[in-house]
Amino acid sequence: MPVVTVATLNLFHNIGRWEERLPLLLDQFIELRPDVIGLQEVNLATDQGMLLAGLINERLAGDRLYDIYHMARPGKSAHVQAQAVMSRLPAEAHEGLDYLLYEGVAQRLRLRLDGGAHLDFYNTHLHYPPDAREARVAQAERLLAWAEASRGAPTVIAGDFNAYPGEPVLALMKGRFQSAHEAVHGREPEKTWPTPVNTWDPSPPGCLDYIFVDGARVLDAALAFDRASPQDPTLFPSDHLGVTARIEVP
């Protein structure tokens, strides 16, 4: 059965010391080499996603290269709050869902795996701020309905849920999906946000980023993009840590 490495990372668009963060991000990305990764807060105005994909592909030296698929948000935040999926697996479909709430969207790729298997990979970014719990539940309900209506393959839903453990939206997700990190470690990460790159948002630290799995076996899960620069302990690849998982797809 195919084994696939999936991941998620909020990229923090191109602010917060982006020029300094980029080399660190590239190094840790190449080490991880996920088969598919969901990115949030991608800056379309600077072609940030294409830049990242191009620089990574230059380093792969004959290895399987990445394609990138963007999904812009509606409204005034479109140019800095886009989402993107980078995949080394061939995509048979790429679709989007407008939450019709707070300019939120989700995207879905149907990916073809070795041996004729398929994987549906969803990338999402739910509404902020911390007290917007009802909005996140409403968005997640639309997301789950979309996933259920098109169900036909093992499914991964990854992204920045902006929800701390114990919130209603996570209970909703876990009623239908398995949290990869919790399945392996018995709990969610202590923290995926913030890193010292964030110097202005005073919200409480905690776990906001998750990978949910259905129809596949979780082999391993861990934090990713979680190492500071050896020269500067305040410099990380993003203001979020990433999450990654290895899954076996029937």
Which parts of 130-233 fold into alpha helices (H)? 133-149, 168-174, 180-185
pLDDT band at 95 (very low <50, low <70, confident <90, very high): very high
CATH number of the domain to which 73 belongs = 3.60.10.10
Give the C-alpha separation, 237 to 221, whole Å: 19
Strands 82-87 and 36-42, sheet pairing: antiparallel
Average pLDDT over every residue of 225-238: 98
- Residue 77, pLDDT score: 76
Number of folded domains that form the chain: 1
133 has a pLDDT exceeding 80: yes
Q: Where are the alpha helices (DSSP H) in the chain?
A: 18-32, 48-60, 133-149, 168-174, 180-185
Judge whether residue 111 has pLDDT over 80.
yes
Lowest mean pLDDT across 74-88, 162-176, 188-202, 233-247? 74-88
- List residues bridging with 30 in a β-sheet: none
Average pLDDT of the chain to the nearest whole number: 96
pTM over 0.75: yes
Question: Which domain range does residue 56 map to?
Answer: 3-248
Share of the chain above pLDDT 70, in %: 100
Q: What is the DSSP-derived secondary structure letter of residue 117?
A: -
pLDDT (average), residues 194-199: 96
What's the pLDDT at 75? 84
Q: pLDDT tens across 22-80, in order?
A: 999 999 999 999 999 999 999 999 999 999 999 999 999 778 999 999 999 998 777 78
For 148-162, the pLDDT digits (tens) are 998 889 999 999 999
